[in-house]
C-alpha cells in the first residue's frame, strides 16, 4: 500500500513536470495521474482536487466530464487554491459544468487575481474591457499590468494595445512598443504582428523595415492572418525583400480565407501573373500551410 506521504511526494513531483498542474503524458501516465489525484483529492488535498478538475475537464485519464471538473474546482477553490479559483471562474464564463454566470466568474477570478494568479488577472482585464455590462478601461489596464509584470505574454500584448490606443491609460507609443516587444520575445504571434506594425511605420520605435519584415514573418509562420497579408505586400511591392510574386501569391492565399484585404490583394496580383506563376504560388502556399501547421503542433 502506498502511504499518504509517498502519494503526496509523487503528486508534487508530477505537478512540477507540467506547467499549470495540467497533467499530461502517455495514456498510462494519464491514468496513473488520475488515480493518484483521485485518492489525494478525496482526502481533501486542494492541489489534487484542482488537478482532478483539470483531468475531468480535459479528459486525461478518464472520460471528459465538465460537471465533475467544476465540482472538484469548487472544492479546491473553497480552500483558497488560486488556480482552482481561476478555473472555476472560467467555468462560469464558458458554461462548462455550470450555468454561465458573469457575476460568479468575476467573483472567482478576483479571488485568484488578488492572490497574484496572472491568468485570473488577465481574465479580469478581458472582462473589464469587453463591454459586456461592466466596462471599465482603467480597471482593465490595471489588471493587465499586474499580469504583464508577472510575464504573461497575452497580458503584455493587451497592455501594449491599451497604451497604443489610450484605453484606460494615456497614449504612449513607446510604452506600447516596449510591452509588445516583451510579449513578442515569448513567441506570441499577435504581439509579433503588433510590434511589426510599430517598426513598419515608426510608431514608438525608429522605422525599421527589416525588423518589421522579420516580425511579420515570425507571426505569419504561426498563422497570423494580418502578418501573412503584410508580408505578402512586401514581396508584391518589392519593398525591403525583393519582389517575389510567387511568395506574395502564396502568403495572400493563406490569409485570404479570413481577410477581405488579403482576398483583394490576391485577386489584384493574380491578374498580372502567368499560369505557371499561379501554379507555383499554389504549390508554395501548400508548403507554407504545412509549415504553419508544423509550428503550431510544436507550441
Judge whether 120 lies within some domain: no
Structural domain includes residue 90: no
pLDDT tens digits for range 135-158: 899 999 999 999 999 999 999 999
Closest to 78 in 3D by CA, of 35, 101, 107, 39: 107
Which three cell numbers mark 110? 478576483
Q: What is the pLDDT of residues 104-138, one digit of tens each?
A: 999 999 999 999 999 999 999 999 998 676 789 99
Identify whether 192 is part of a domain.
no
Among 93, 96, 98, 95, residue whose Cα is nearest residue 110: 93
The per-residue pLDDT for 191 is 98
What is the pTM (predicted TM-score) of this model? Answer: 0.85
Query: Is residue 289, in this structure, part of any structural domain at all?
Result: yes
* pLDDT tens, residue by residue, 40-54: 999 999 999 999 999
Q: Are the beta carbons of 118 and 85 closer than 8 angstroms? A: no
Report the half-sphere exposure of 30 (CA within 13 A, side-chain side): 15
> What's the half-sphere exposure (Cβ side, CA atoms, 13 Å) at 132?
11
Does residue 46 lie within any of the structural domains?
no
The answer to whether 68 and 46 are in contact (CB under 8 A) is: no
Cα–Cα distance for residue pair 105/208, rounded to 1 Å: 43
Does the residue 67 lie in any domain? no
Q: Number of structural domains, the chain? A: 1
Full domain range(s) for residue 217:
208-299
Alpha-carbon distance of 138 to 162, in angstroms, equals 9
Q: Would you say residue 295 lies in a domain? A: yes
Residue 83 lies inside a defined structural domain of this protein? no
Amino acid at each position: 500500500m502506498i502511504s499518504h506521504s509517498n502519494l503526496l511526494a509523487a503528486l508534487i513531483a508530477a505537478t512540477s513536470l507540467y506547467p499549470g498542474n495540467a497533467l499530461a503524458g502517455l495514456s498510462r501516465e494519464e491514468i496513473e495521474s488520475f488515480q493518484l489525484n483521485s485518492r489525494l483529492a478525496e482526502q481533501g488535498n486542494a492541489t489534487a482536487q484542482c488537478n482532478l478538475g483539470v483531468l475531468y475537464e480535459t479528459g486525461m485519464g478518464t472520460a471528459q466530464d465538465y460537471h465533475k471538473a467544476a465540482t472538484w474546482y469548487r472544492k479546491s477553490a473553497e480552500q483558497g487554491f488560486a488556480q482552482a479559483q481561476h478555473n472555476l471562474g472560467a467555468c462560469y464564463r464558458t458554461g462548462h459544468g455550470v450555468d454561465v454566470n458573469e457575476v460568479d466568474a468575476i467573483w472567482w477570478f478576483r479571488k485568484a487575481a488578488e492572490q497574484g494568479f496572472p491568468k485570473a488577472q488577465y481574465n479580469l482585464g478581458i472582462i473589464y474591457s469587453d463591454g459586456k455590462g461592466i466596462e471599465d478601461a482603467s480597471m482593465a489596464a490595471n489588471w493587465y499590468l499586474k499580469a504583464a509584470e508577472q510575464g504573461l505574454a497575452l497580458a503584455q500584448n493587451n497592455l501594449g494595445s491599451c497604451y497604443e490606443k489610450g484605453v484606460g491609460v494615456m497614449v504612449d507609443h513607446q510604452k506600447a512598443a516596449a510591452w509588445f516587444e516583451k510579449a513578442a520575445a515569448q513567441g506570441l504571434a499577435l504581439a509579433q504582428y503588433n510590434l511589426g506594425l510599430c517598426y513598419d511605420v515608426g510608431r514608438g520605435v525608429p522605422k525599421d523595415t527589416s525588423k518589421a519584415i522579420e516580425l511579420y514573418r515570425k507571426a505569419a509562420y504561426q498563422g497570423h492572418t494580418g502578418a501573412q497579408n503584410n508580408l505578402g505586400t512586401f514581396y508584391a511591392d518589392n519593398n525591403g525583400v525583393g519582389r517575389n510574386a510567387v511568395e506574395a501569391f502564396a502568403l495572400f492565399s493563406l490569409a485570404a480565407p479570413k481577410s477581405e484585404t488579403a482576398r483583394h490583394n490576391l485577386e489584384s496580383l493574380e491578374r498580372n501573373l502567368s499560369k505557371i506563376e499561379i501554379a507555383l504560388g499554389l504549390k508554395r502556399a501548400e508548403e507554407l500551410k504545412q509549415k504553419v501547421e508544423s509550428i503550431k503542433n510544436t507550441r
